[in-house]
């Protein structure tokens, strides 16, 4: 069965979505270990995965706590990292066009992975399948492996020696890199990295990631100044992402 005459087979969408859900969901084990190693209890660790459910923010929070950062600063850094999901939601609400009663529940699954899978689909039907399968499989597996990681943290010993706290950021970067298509997007990412690394030794844990967010307005201001002097280069104009459509019955 296919989404429409030109869409991907439903089975292919499910397979791809499950692949992402399983691959990323397994890194919940690393979060569970890292969180327990930073001093959070089992219930606190599991509550973060159940309620927050955004890996980059979760790793940022426990990483800042493990480094001795102020809890409020750590929470602020995690919050600002999570704000990106609100912008994902604006885009996905147009693509998925879910019933109003379903939207509050679907919002919990609006993260990097579900967004990437959803926007890669050619039709609305395929987008809905991809979003649902990715979100469900990732949520279940992430929470299960978080529990296992937190329970197994004592057996592992010194969690910092294993470098498991790098698993979450590595997955996030792997998903982000292909999305940096324009010069402006790459400039924002590069400047954010430079700011974060430069300020890491001199600012309290959790603060560098907040300052790194200034890369976006700086790069956009520079782009606006350049655009005001002439027509932007074609390569710097982002192409509009395709909106899954399909037949009327798929919508």
Query: Do 74 and 61 touch, CB atoms closer than 8 A?
Result: yes
Q: What is the mean pLDDT of residues 28-41?
A: 88
pTM of structure: 0.68
102-131 tens-digit pLDDT = 999 999 999 989 999 999 999 999 999 999
Give Dmax (Cα) for the chain. 62
- Six-digit token string for 185: 């997007």
Chain length of the chain: 251
Placement of tokens 């976006």 in the chain: 216
CA distance 80 to 16: 29
- Could you give the residue ranges of the DSSP H alpha helices within 97-231? 103-106, 112-119, 124-156, 167-176, 183-199, 207-212, 215-228
pLDDT at 39 over 60: yes
Reduced to 3 states (helix: H, G, I; strand: E, B; else coil), residue 2 is: strand
* Residue bearing the bigger pLDDT, 179 or 152: 152
């Amino acid at each position: 069965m296919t989404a429409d005459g030109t869409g991907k087979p439903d089975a292919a969408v499910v397979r791809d979505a499950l692949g992402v859900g399983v691959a990323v969901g397994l890194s919940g084990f690393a979060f569970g270990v890292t969180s327990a190693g930073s001093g959070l209890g089992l219930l606190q660790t599991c509550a973060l995965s159940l309620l927050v459910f955004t890996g980059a923010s979760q790793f940022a929070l426990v990483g800042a706590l493990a480094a001795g950062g102020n809890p409020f600063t750590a929470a602020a850094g995690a919050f600002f990292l999570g704000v990106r999901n609100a912008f994902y939601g604006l885009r996905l609400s147009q693509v998925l066009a879910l019933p109003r009663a379903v939207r509050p529940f679907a919002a919990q699954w609006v993260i990097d992975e579900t967004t990437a899978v959803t926007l890669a689909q050619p039709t609305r039907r395929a987008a809905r399948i991809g979003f649902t399968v990715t979100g469900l499989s990732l949520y279940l597996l992430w929470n299960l492996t978080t529990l296992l990681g937190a329970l197994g943290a004592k057996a592992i010993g010194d969690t910092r020696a294993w470098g498991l706290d790098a698993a979450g950021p590595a997955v996030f970067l792997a998903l982000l890199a292909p999305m940096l298509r324009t010069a402006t997007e790459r400039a924002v990412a590069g400047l954010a990295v430079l700011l974060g690394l430069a300020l890491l030794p001199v600012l309290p844990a959790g603060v560098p990631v907040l300052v790194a967010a200034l890369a976006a307005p700086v790069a956009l201001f520079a782009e606006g100044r350049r655009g005001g002097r002439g027509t932007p280069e074609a390569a710097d104009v982002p192409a509009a992402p395709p909106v899954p459509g399909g037949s009327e019955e798929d919508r």
